[in-house]
Amino acid sequence: MPAAIDATKYLAAPCTVLTPEQLAPFEVNLTGEPVTSGSTFEVVGPSCSWEPVDRKGDFNLLFADKNEYGLSDYYREKKRWAFFEPIEVGGYPAAYFDTGSKDLRGQGFCSIVVGLTDTLAFSVSRQNGPGPRACDQVRDMAAAALTTMKGA
C-alpha cells in the first residue's frame, strides 16, 4: 500500500474534502450536506452528499471509520454484492462495488471504495447518474478527494 493518508480532520468536516474547483466538473450544488452525527453516522461513519444542479440523484462521499479493517472489510464482503471490481485510484487500492443484489451501473448507480490506511477507507457513490459514466464520475471524485487529503 502507498503511504497512509491521515484523514482525521475530514472525519469532523467531510464536505471540506472537495473544493468548489474540484466539484465544478460534477455540476453539483457546491454546498454539501454533512452527516457527522445521528443513526446513519453511528452505523457507517461521517459523510457528505452533493445534489447535482439537474436534481437527478446525488453524490455521496463516506469515510467508513466504523469498519475495523478499512478496505479489507469490503474485500471480505465482496461475494455478497452485485459486483466488486478491484482497481487503483491515484496509486491507492480501490474497488468499484455495489452492495445490492443487482448490478445497476447501466442505470447510473456506481460506488467506489479507496483504502487510505489499514483501518480506514472512504467511498464515493453516485445514484441516478448518467448511465455507465457514473463509475467514471465516482472514480474522478475519489481521485480529487485523494489529492486534497494528500496535500493536507
Which residue(s) pair with 115 in the sheet? Answer: 121
Question: Residue 49 belongs to what H/E stretch?
Answer: strand 47-50
Using pLDDT thresholds of 50, 70 and 90, give the confidence band for residue 43. low
Residue 100 scores a pLDDT above 90: no
- φ, ψ (nearest 5 deg) of residue 42: -65, -30
Q: How much of the chain is helix, strand and coil, in % rounded to 5? A: 35, 30, 40
| pLDDT value, residue 144 | 97
Question: Is residue 93 left, alpha or beta, with left meaning phi > 0 and alpha meaning psi from -120 to 50?
Answer: beta
| pLDDT value, residue 69 | 87
Domains of the chain, each with CATH number or no CATH: 8-151 (3.40.1000)
